[in-house]
Amino acid sequence: MVNLNTLRTVFFHPSQPNLSLSSQPSYSGNTTLEKDSEEAIIRPTYGLEDLGLYNIGRVYRNLPIAQLVEHALIRGEGTLVDNGALLVETGQYTGRSPKDRFIVKESSSEQEIDWNQHNVPISEAKFNQLYQKVIAYLQGRDIYIFDGYIGADTNYRCGVRIVNELASQNLFVHQLFIRPSPEELNNHQADFTVIAIPGLHGDPENDDIRSEAFIVVHLQKRLVIIGGSRYSGEIKKSVFLMMNYFMTKRNVLPMHGAANIDKRGHTNLFFGLSGTGKTTLSADPDCHLIGDDEHGWSESGIFNFEGGCYAKTIRLSQEHEPQIWAAIKFGTLLENVIVDPETQIPDYDDGRLTENTRAAYPLRYIPNCCPSARGNHPKTIFFLTADAFGVLPPIAKLTKEQAMYHFLAGYTSKLAGTERDITAPQATFSACFGQCFFPLSPTVYAKMLGKRLDQHHETNVFLINTGWSGGPYGVGHRISIKHTRAMVTAALNGQLDCVNYHPHPIFKVLVPEKVTGVPHRILDPQNTWDDVEAYQQQAIELAHRFEVNFKQFHDVPAEIMSAGPVVR
Ligand SMILES: Nc1ncnc2c1ncn2[C@@H]1O[C@H](COP(=O)(O)OP(=O)(O)O)[C@@H](O)[C@H]1O
Ligand SMILES: C=C(OP(=O)(O)O)C(=O)O
Ligand SMILES: [Mn+2]
């Protein structure tokens, strides 16, 4: 078993920084907050030389939130809006850019990585070349460091060091990761390091990358370098990728999902690809929020990897998402939201810059959060899927085999804006409901899930369609948050333990006969379509897609293989 404590970030032997490289233009300009009166002042470097970083300008480490906001404002990175949040625009990159993310092909992990369209290799030589540019770029620049943790369970937590060029991105990581106590800060050691310098642009001609943006993950060095993109989601998701590699070695199942604790004291999980409703549905006034996005499932239960949330704000309403609405206040970072130029009041309906507008805030901004960010083994698991074809039932119970099947299939849609170039919902199969975040084969994670479902056989698994109803995207409409919430509530309060179910004729999943607060008619998706035949055709087409996709999993047990939709 790999002991994280003995595998700290591999230190760099500082090679000659390539000083001849011209530094890239920086949108933050040269505005310096305070100039040292004399050069002779010796400033602490906080061990940056271990990363090969020398001659850095001012180094700000773990500044409090108010100061980070001040710095961001003075440097012209953003503005304060009416509710007190700091608003930034992230430029050309307003969502993740999966095609610009690479994993270094190196001996320690090469054999294990599931190299595929998501996990794209880059050579060690090209990594070193880019790293020289990082070293050169940072010469003389002011930087912000956040030293903290990932993993709310202290048995598994890892030290993270994030080096930022932007104060606003340092605010993001301050809110998203787990903060150290003053004593922890004194003794802090980084297991993972991310250097996020959006002002450094890569060179697609020579760096073996695709565009000016690059997110390069070096698993052996436990180091990520990010250039070209100011979308903060890249930072959190690249640390997630490293956790998804290393946690499996400690028998922790890493999950792309939210978690909360309900009124009955049960822990619940919400798996789902981006935009399917993890953050929205887990923030429930009746439940204690554990976390909205990344969790581990260990022998002792569930723990949040992070210390904060990253909510979508497009069409956010106080009525449907009261907790997220209230969490947008001083200290929260807003990305790409449009505000009224006179009043500085956000207009969450305006998707002019992107559909992927975001708010980053700490867990404690949700009033009834669970401060330990930990829970027991889950009682209810929801697989959230945004079905753009509008054929899946809005809620269905899954047998253990169906749960395994759907976890591997990971059917959903990529929703507009979350990834670059996605402007309308696009059907996709994303194994583990987040395939691009998982470096190992999906079957590794599925086996871990299967083991846990066997151990905790009282756990119920539901498939929830938070996507379309009444027809495909463009014809039908998105299922209302109100109805989805009612379905989640019914599952959590035990109501769905006492109703009859009938198997869906094509998808075989078990459709409940009734759910309080949800019109009976919509539970069977066929009823919501004008044309029953068109429904069936569309459902059969989707069943075929499931079949084609599942061919890649040829060595899973027969009972899982046969738990998929009926293909006639
Ligand atoms: N029925 C629904 N259930 C959940 N979210 C919905 C639903 N209908 C619309 N939405 C919207 O979809 C988005 C879900 O995003 P979010 O919860 O941030 O997803 P995730 O956390 O899984 O990335 C929110 O903008 C929410 O308002
Ligand atoms: C931050 C992201 O994740 P999610 O949408 O799952 O919150 C993202 O996909 O960029
Ligand atoms: Mn989310």
Cβ–Cβ under 8 Å, residues 165 and 191: no
Helix (H) or strand (E) holding 310: strand 308-312
Above 90 in pLDDT, residue 35?
no
- Tell me whether residue 104 is in a domain: yes
Give me the active site residues, please.
Answer: 96, 237, 256, 274, 278-279, 293, 358
Spatial neighbors of 429 by CB under 8 A, at least 6 apart, are 409, 410, 411, 545, 546, 549
396-442 pLDDT, tens digit per residue, is 999 999 999 999 999 998 887 888 888 878 889 999 999 999 999 99
Q: What residue's CA is closest to ligand 2, atom 5?
A: 274
Which atom of ligand 1 is nearest to 321's Cα?
A: 27
Query: Could you tell me what percent of the chain has a pLDDT over 90?
Result: 89
Instruction: Give residue 26's pLDDT.
Output: 38
275 lines ligand 2 (CB under 6 A): yes
Q: Specify the ligand 1 atom closest to the Cα of 384.
A: 22
Domain membership of residue 25 (yes or no) is no
CA atoms within 13 A of residue 541's CA, in its CB half-sphere? 13
What is the atom index within ligand 2 of the atom nearest the CA of 275? 5
* Position 510 in a domain: yes
Residue 329 labeled ligand binder:
no
Residue 96 tokens, joined? 């993740």
Is the CB–ligand 2 distance for residue 346 below 6 Å? no
Q: Residue 236: CB within 6 Å of ligand 1?
A: no
CA of 312 to the centre of ligand 3 (A): 7
pTM of the model: 0.93
Residue 19: what pLDDT?
Answer: 30
Do 373 and 304 touch, CB atoms closer than 8 A?
A: yes
CA–centroid distance, residue 495 to ligand 2 (Å): 31
**Is the pLDDT assigned to residue 15 strictly greater than 70?**
no
DSSP β-bridge partners for residue 253: 297
For CA atoms 30, 36, 42, 47, give the dihedral sign: negative
pLDDT at 361 over 60: yes
Q: Which residues pair with 383 in a beta bridge?
A: 271, 463
Task: Return the CATH number at 516.
Answer: 3.90.228.20
Instruction: Answer yes or no: are the C-beta atoms of 227 and 136 closer than 8 Å.
Output: no
To the question of whether residue 231 is assigned a binding role by annotation, the answer is yes
Please check if 8 is assigned to a binding site.
no
Once rounded to an integer, what is the mean pLDDT over residues 129-135? Answer: 98
Which pLDDT belongs to residue 318? 97
Provide the pLDDT confidence category of residue 38 given band limits of 50, 70 and 90.
low
175 within a domain of the structure (yes/no):
yes
Ligand-binding annotation for 314, yes or no, is no
Question: Is the reported ipTM for this assembly greater than 0.95?
Answer: yes
- Which pLDDT score, from 0 to 100, does residue 22 have? 33
Confidence at residue 17, expressed as pLDDT on a 0 to 100 scale: 34
Could you tell me if 515 and 486 are in contact, meaning their C-beta atoms sit under 8 angstroms apart?
A: yes
pLDDT of the residue at 490: 98
Q: For residue 135, tell me if it sits in a domain.
A: yes
96 annotated to a ligand binding site: yes
Distance, in Å, from the CA atom of 393 to the CA atom of 466, rounded to the nearest integer, reads 10
Task: Please answer whether residues 439 and 244 qualify as being in contact, where contact means their C-beta atoms are separated by less than 8 angstroms.
Answer: yes
User: 529 C-alpha vs ligand 2 centroid, how far in Å?
Assistant: 31
Tell me the average pLDDT across 123-140: 98
Indicate whether 244 and 389 sit together in one domain.
Answer: no
Average pLDDT over residues 314-320: 97
Query: Is residue 118 annotated as involved in ligand binding?
Result: no
Residue 214 pairs in a beta bridge with 227
Given a cut of 60, whether residue 503 has pLDDT beyond it is: yes
Q: Is 418 in the pocket of ligand 2 (CB under 6 A)?
A: yes
Asked if residue 223 belongs to a known ligand binding site, the reply is no
Question: CATH number of the domain that 201 lies in?
Answer: 3.40.449.10
Q: Which of 274, 278, 280, 334 to mutate to test the pocket of ligand 1 (most atoms within 8 A of CB)?
A: 280
In this structure, are residues 310 and 236 in contact, taking their beta carbons and an 8 Å threshold? Answer: yes
> Which residue, of 250, 271, 290, is where some domain finishes?
250
Q: Convert the pLDDT of each residue in 53-92 to its tens digit.
A: 999 999 999 999 999 999 999 999 999 999 999 999 999 9
Q: Whose CA is nearest to atom 10 of ligand 2?
A: 233
Tell me, in angstroms, the distance from the centre of ligand 1 to residue 277's CA. 4
Q: Report yes or no on 392 lying in a domain.
A: yes
Helix (H) / strand (E) element for 339: namely strand 338-339
Contact 467, 479 (CB under 8 A): yes
Mean pLDDT over 371-388 rounds to 97
Residue 426 maps to a domain: yes
- Is 314 close to ligand 1, i.e. is its CB under 6 Å away? yes
Q: Could you say which DSSP state residue 12 is in?
A: P
List, for residues 152-194, the tens digit of each pLDDT value.
999 999 999 999 999 999 999 999 999 999 999 999 999 999 9
Does residue 32 surpass a pLDDT of 70? Answer: no
331 lines ligand 2 (CB under 6 A): no
Residue with tokens 């690059």: 214
563 touches 552 (CB < 8 A): no
Counting ligand 2 atoms within 8 A of each CB, the residue from 293, 383, 430, 438 with the most, and so the one to mutate, is 293
pLDDT above 70: residue 209: yes
289 has a pLDDT exceeding 90? yes
| pLDDT of 25 above 50 | no
- The mean predicted confidence, pLDDT, of the chain is 93
Q: Is the CB of 96 under 6 A from ligand 1?
A: no
**Nearest ligand, measured from the Cα of 277:** 1
Q: How many Cα atoms within 13 Å fall on the side-chain side of residue 303?
A: 19
- Residue 385: per-residue pLDDT: 97
Final residue in a domain of this structure, among 192, 224, 250: 250
The answer to whether residues 109 and 219 touch, using CB atoms and an 8 Å cutoff, is yes
* Cβ 351 under 6 angstroms from ligand 1: no
pLDDT > 90? residue 134: yes
- Which ligand sits closest to the CA of 312? 1
Query: What's the domain count of the chain?
Result: 2
Detail the DSSP E strand segments found in 32-164: 59-61, 78-80, 86-88, 101-104, 120-122, 143-150, 158-164
Domain that holds residue 197: 45-76+96-250
- The pLDDT, as a whole number, for residue 425 is 82
Ligand 2 pocket, residue 310 CB under 6 Å:
yes
Q: Is the pLDDT of residue 344 over 70?
A: yes
What pLDDT was estimated at residue 33? 57
Asked whether 293 lines ligand 2 (CB < 6 A), one says yes
Ligand 2: which atom is nearest the Cα of residue 236? 1
Alpha carbon of residue 275 to chain centroid: 10
Phi-psi region of 510 (alpha: psi -120 to 50; beta: other; left: phi over 0): beta
In 307-359, which residue ranges form alpha helices assigned H by DSSP?
Answer: 322-327
Considering 250, 284, 311, which residue would you say is the last residue of a domain? Answer: 250
Average of pLDDT values for 533-561?
96
Distance 256 CA to ligand 2 centre (A): 9
What integer pLDDT is reported at residue 171 of this predicted model?
99
**Does residue 504 form part of some domain?**
yes
From ligand 2's centre to the CA of 501, what distance in Å?
33
